[in-house]
Every structure is written in structure tokens, then in C-alpha cells.
Amino acid sequence: MDSEALYRALEQRVGRAHLAHRLHMQSHWVARVMGHGLTYFHIENMLWLHWLIRLSLKLTGLYARGRRNALHAVVRRNPVVLPRLGAEFNGFTILQISDLHLDITPGMADAIAAAVAPLQYDLCVLTGDFRSRTHGSTHPVLEAMARLRKTLRGEVYAVLGNHDFIEMVLPMEEMGIRLLMNESVLLKRGDSTVCLAGVDDPHFYEADNVQKAAAHLEQGVPSVLLAHSPEIYRKAAACGFDLLLCGHTHGGQICLPGGIPLFINARAPLRMVRRSWQYRGMQGYTSVGTGCSGVDVRFWCPPEVTLHTLTSIPDPSAS
């Protein structure tokens, strides 16, 4: 598809205003301006700091260990009780993979494929940040995504993160990954329905439209919202979503012993920057990420793939 046809198709898909906003903000990344509020001052944008951290780790002999840590994802299990869940969805399991940043860590796609191969799941969701570079060609990361997609079973849904360009939407859909751009779909099993919605990146692009994503929520139908960052928690709860699945924070990625994060780049309460949390009746889960950002190491914060199992009643054996 030539670029004119691509942008015409994207305009039809997301609307002229959304596309114009996205492209305007992307030009900021490309120009390395990055002067967008708090984002400018964050570690992700300080390339000199990445170099310094890498050098310090090499001098102290910790770099190789940090890189090994980054490639060993753990499997986290998160039971989710949804009172309105239909019987056919009882036990329905969603595999969440987040913050892949496939272009920064050699071997990441293969490591993730190996981690998820033995897992049983009904649906896979990808909560953004497929690449790390925020300028240049998207082809390398799309090639890695295509390889990874072949290893994932069943339907795959995704949302874009603050490192992803809108031009990635259609190529990813061609490889069988359905992007939710402030959109929703209804998942059906017998007589039961779950609404799955997703928003464009709320962090850097502020391109989320939670209300639009919630347009097809129905009374009595459980709903799951995908977003790159937990920063939309208030809007998500106000629109009536039951569950918000997100990532972006990396849980700090380089932490102190005990998993105490040194940096968190999200305008959300600290309790929402990793794993499960609740807000006004809405359940949330923030993945600490499967990949790495900035520097390809992890300390005291292992990468994860997450299995969310939906149940309509609490499991007594879990208490």
C-alpha cells in the first residue's frame, strides 16, 4: 500500500482529527523535541543517561546479569472475579503481553515465544510499546512482530503505546493482530458476551477516547478495557468498565532490592504502577512489562507474561 492510500485508510478508520493529532505528535518524537510536559524529563528520553547506566553496569560487571534477567519472563496469574460474567466465560483466560520494545533487546521475540508456548489461554492481548525507537523505519519491529504473531494461538487484540506510530496499525492487522483504536468488539460464547475495548495511547499522544471506546457497553455485559498506561483509570471507571488491563510503567524495570522502583513514568497513584489494584469498583492490572525500555536490563523486577482468568464467583481455594 502506498503512503497516500495508507493515510486515506487510517483517516477512514480513526477519523481526520485523531489522525492529524497523532501525526502532529509523532513529528515531535521524530524531531526529538519531546517537550511534552513531564515526558521530556523522563529517563526514557535521556539518551546520555542510558549510555551512562550501561557504562556503569559494564564497569561493575552487572550488565550481563541484567540482560539475562531481561530475557527470563515469569508467568503471573491474576484471577479476576466478574459478577456479571456468563457461564460460558467462566475460566476464560486472557494472556497479556506488554511493552515488548522488540528493537532494543536481541532475542526478545524468541524469548517471549518460548515463555508463552506452554501456556493455555483463550485470547491474547498486547498492551502497547512494540518498539523502542521513536523515529526511523518501523519495518524491523514489524518483522519481529510478524514472527511473534505466528507463535501466538487464536485471536490477538492490541493497543498502541507511546513508542508506536499509527502507521503500524494496518500492517499489524494484516498479520492478524486487531488494533483497538478507541474501539470495541463483542466476544461471544454461546449466549454469553464480554465487551473488549481498547484506546489509543493515553501517555504521550493523549489520543485515548475512553467514551468512544465505551460507546457499545451494555447493561449486564462485563467489559474489559485495554490501554497502554493506567493513567486513564478515572475515565475508565467513570465509563463503567469492569477491568482495565495496561502496562507502560515496567514496574520501574531497574529496582532496588524488594522491587522498589527508582523511576516510574506514569501520572497514576503508586499502587497502580504494578500488578493488580482496584479503583471505585473497577479492577485494574498493570503489567510490569515483557520487554525493556531505554537500557536492555532488569534488576529486582523480572519481566512478565500475565494470565488473567475470568470467573463469575470467587475461587475458595485461592483464599
Residues that bind Fe ion (CB under 5 A): 129, 161-162, 248
Q: How far apart, in whole angstroms, are the C-alpha atoms of residue 292 and residue 178?
A: 23
Contact 200, 209 (CB under 8 A): yes
Between residues 253 and 309, which has the closer beta carbon with respect to Fe ion?
253
Decide: 259 and 265 in contact? Cβ < 8 Å. no
Query: Residue 162 and residue 135: Cα distance in Å, rounded?
Result: 12
Distance of closest approach, residue 190 Cβ to Fe ion, in angstroms = 37
Q: What is the 3-state secondary structure (H, E, C) of 251-270?
A: HHCEEECCCEECCCCCCCCH
CB of 51 to Fe ion, least distance (A): 20
Q: Which is closer to Fe ion, CB of 98 or CB of 184?
A: 98
* Residue 103 or 129 having the CB closest to Fe ion: 129
In whole angstroms, the minimum distance from the beta carbon of 207 to Fe ion comes to: 13
> By C-beta, is 222 or 247 nearer to Fe ion?
247
Q: Which residue is nearest to Fe ion (CB)?
A: 248
Sign of CA dihedral 217, 222, 227, 229: positive
Instruction: Please state, in angstroms and as integers, the Cα–Cα distance from residue 85 to each residue in 108, 185, 200, 223, 225, following that order.
Output: 35, 16, 26, 9, 15
Nearer to Fe ion, 162 or 287 (CB): 162
- For the bound state, the minimum distance from the C-beta of residue 286 to Fe ion, rounded and expressed in Å, comes to 11
What is the spatial distance between Cα 138 and Cα 141, in angstroms, rounded to a whole number?
A: 6
Beta bridge partners of 275: 286
Name the residue nearer to Fe ion (CB basis): 161 or 222: 161
CA distance 64 to 165: 31
- In the complex, least distance from residue 272 CB atom to Fe ion, rounded to whole angstroms: 15
Question: How far is 39 from 45, CA to CA, in rounded Å?
Answer: 8
Helix axis angle, 47-59 relative to 63-70, nearest 10°? 110
Question: What's the closest the beta carbon of residue 86 comes to Fe ion, in angstroms?
Answer: 33
Beta strand pairing call for 123-127 and 260-261 = unpaired
Using only C-alpha atoms, what is the Rg of the chain?
A: 19
Residue whose CB is less far from Fe ion, 162 or 290? 162
Q: Given the complex with Fe ion, which of 45 and 162 has the nearer CB atom?
A: 162
CB of 97 to Fe ion, least distance (A): 14
The H or E element that residue 81 is part of is strand 74-81
